Amino acid sequence: MTTEDFEKKFNTVLIDKIGKGSWHIKPETKFADLGLNSLDMIEIVIDFENAFFISIPDADIEKLMTVRDVEEYLQNKMGVK
């Protein structure tokens, strides 16, 4: 997967789940600041798992606090540079 393909899919999943335009979402934005609670986070993780055909362990989910955290985690997991 190219970086461009990754970014497109990542943004699509994120915007679909959050329901806000991309101008509201910056890399340093915390999910809590977007109004996501713990159940919402589980749902968005499942959405990312399904979109990228990966599994994210529960212990790793707790470390994903910002949009950048999730993006970097997924890129590393998938080997996207």
pLDDT digits (tens, 9 = 90+) for 8-47: 999 899 888 887 666 678 889 898 888 888 888 889 999 9
Instruction: Give Cβ neighbours of residue 43 (< 8 Å, ≥ 6 apart).
Output: 17
* Contact status, residue 51 vs residue 59, Cβ threshold 8 Å: no
What pLDDT is attached to residue 31?
86
Q: What is the pTM of this model?
A: 0.85
* Contact status, residue 41 vs residue 61, Cβ threshold 8 Å: yes
Residue 59 has pLDDT above 80, yes or no: yes
Walk me through the domains of the chain, giving residue ranges and CATH numbers. 3-78 (1.10.1200.10)
Measured between alpha carbons, how far is 18 from 37 in angstroms, rounded to an integer? 11
